[in-house]
Structure 1
Amino acid sequence: MNKKPIKRHKALQPLSRDHHHGLLLSWKIRAGISKNIEARRIKNYADWFFENHLIPHFEMEEKHVFTILGSNNELVKKALADHRRLIRLFKKDEVDTLVLSKIEEELDKHIRFEERILFPEIQKSATDEELNYMEKIHDDTAFEDNLVDEFWK
Structure 2
Amino acid sequence: MHQPIKRHPALQPWSRDHHHGLLLSWKIKKGFSLGIAPERIKHYTDWFWKTQLIPHFDTEERFLFPILGNDNHMVQQALDEHRQLKALFEKENAVSETLSKIESLLNDHIRFEERVLFLAIQEVATPEEIKLLESVHTNDEECELWEDEFWK
Distance (Å, rounded) in 1 between the aligned partners of 2:53 and 2:133: 18
Aligned to 2:39: 40
- 1:71-150 aligned within 5 A: 71-139=70-138, 141=140, 143-150=142-149
- TM-superposed CA distance for 1:145, in Å, is 3.1
Q: TM-score, with normalisation over the residues of structure 1? A: 0.94
Q: Does the aligned pair in 2 maintain the 1:89–1:99 contact within 8 Å?
A: yes
CA distance in 2 between partners of 1:110 and 1:82 (Å): 7
Aligned residues: 151
Cα distance per residue 1:111-149 (max 9 Å; x no partner): 000000000000001001101110011116363434111
CA distance in 2, matches of 1:95, 1:147: 24
Q: Residues 8 and 140 (structure 1 numbering): CA distance in 2 closer, same or farther, change over 3 Å?
A: farther
Distance 1:147 1:80 in 2: 29
* Counterpart residue identity of residue 79, structure 1: A
Relative to its length, the structure with more helix (as a share) is 2
TM-score, scaled relative to structure 2: 0.94
- Cα distance between partner residues in 2 of 1:147 and 1:5: 29
Structure 2: any 5+ residue segments left out of the alignment? none
Could you say if the C-alpha distance between residues 35 and 10 of structure 1 is closer, same or farther in structure 2, counting changes exceeding 3 Å? same
AA of the residue aligned to 2:26: W
**Structure 1 residue 31, shift from structure 2 partner:** 0.4
Moved over 6 A (4+): none
CA contact (8 A) 1:39 1:95 kept: no
Percent pairwise identity = 54
- Measured in 2, the distance between the counterparts of 1:38 and 1:5 equals 35
